Amino acid sequence: MDAIIWEGNRLRLLDQTKLPGTIEYIECNDYYTVAEAIKRLSVRGAPAIGAAAAYGLVVGAGQIQTEDPKVFLEKLESIAGELGATRPTAVNLRWALDRMMLRLSSAGEKSVQELRDILLEEAHAIYNEDVESNRRMGEYGQQLFPDEVRVLTHCNAGALATAGYGTALGVIRAAHERGKKVSVYADETRPLLQGARLTSWEMVQEGIPVTLITDNMAGYLMSQKMVDCVIVGADRITANGDVANKIGTYGVAVLAKYHQIPFYVAAPLSTIDMNLSSGEQIPIEERDAREVTHHAGQVVAPDGVKAWNPAFDVTPNGLVTAIITEKGVVQPPYTENLKKIFRDKKQEEV
């Protein structure tokens, strides 16, 4: 199931808030619709948000009524700012928009239509590169799995959270495709149940054995020696290897450390923010309290109760066994080895 579709010069986004019961696409005829889809989690997952925002900028460019390139770029910068403000934690969002604008700034003197064409070309590149990087990530990551493995994952880091194939679930897919006997435990992932609604759905579609558990069962599951490793995605990784991911990830990492279970993070290099030295600097999005006090439109808490709803937490690097990227598996010490992988990448590009 494609989460992001560009066809006939229009953008369609799978409304993941309605899965698994209803498959429905949002027709994005203006960038406001794209921004709202990102904000309300109709499209979610750091790589998918980046790709959707890139196409959202293309949609916004089509709304600008001017033939003056300077005016066009000024208005486009404003649109990029609005799209970039929708979700503060996932770094891929800002990364994709900055990449789109940088591509235009290096294009030289062009007409407005030529600039629009360049934007679409760059959005396609971001999308296609993400799919390819996920597949490479899967190949590197599956090598960490034994021939028979029971994997616990938290939230959803599959094809729905990316341009395609997935990060954490991409590693699981790759192992399954190579004939390894993989079974998955999916945390339900409160409060919005991305594990229950999305991860388990993707695994069922792929024919990969999956067992759904509530978030508070993970510790007991590990104590019963029913988990061989944990793998999650990420919304931002800092230069020292601290990992921001869906709320609850930190707790799973602590449990894994106590039970001496490997804890892997799968994420493309675009999710690694080398401008931040540690997880303390990551802005953590706080969402509407009604996501906690309500479920499926029904009240599940008493009137007047306060609710705290951070969407992410930060897992310290000391709890992370390895970071799986499209350029290989990064081991501690992360400060040194993440620098090296980016240095090697830059040399390849030269």
Q: 309: annotated binding-site residue?
A: no
Give CA–CA dist 67/70, Å, rounded.
9
Q: Which of 215, 235, 242, 313 does the annotation list as catalytic?
A: 235
Q: How far lies 85's CA from each of 91, 135, 144, 238, in Å?
A: 11, 29, 37, 20
Give CA–CA dist 89/172, Å, rounded.
25
Phi/psi of residue 121, nearest 5 degrees: -60, -40
Q: Name residues whose C-beta falls within 8 Å of residue 298's C-beta, 6 or more positions apart in sequence.
A: none
Q: How far lies 74's CA from each of 61, 66, 101, 220, in Å?
A: 11, 11, 11, 55
Q: 46: annotated binding-site residue?
A: yes
- Residue 280 CB: number of other CB atoms within 10 A? 11
Q: Name residues whose C-beta falls within 8 Å of residue 94's C-beta, 6 or more positions apart in sequence.
A: 84
Q: 44: annotated binding-site residue?
A: yes
Is 215 one of the catalytic residues?
A: no
Among the listed residues 178, 198, 174, the one whose alpha carbon sits nearest the alpha carbon of residue 186: 198
Q: 123: annotated binding-site residue?
A: no
Q: 339: annotated binding-site residue?
A: no
Give CA–CA dist 171/39, Å, rounded.
27
Assess contact for 44 and 5: CB atoms under 8 A: no
Q: How far lies 34's CA from each of 41, 44, 49, 313, in Å?
A: 11, 12, 10, 25
Longest dimension (CA), the chain: 66
Rama region for 179: left / alpha / beta (φ>0; ψ in -120 to 50; rest) = left
Q: Residues annotated as binding site?
A: 44-46, 87, 194, 245-246
Q: Which residues are catalytic?
A: 235
> Which residues carry a binding-site annotation for substrate?
44-46, 87, 194, 245-246
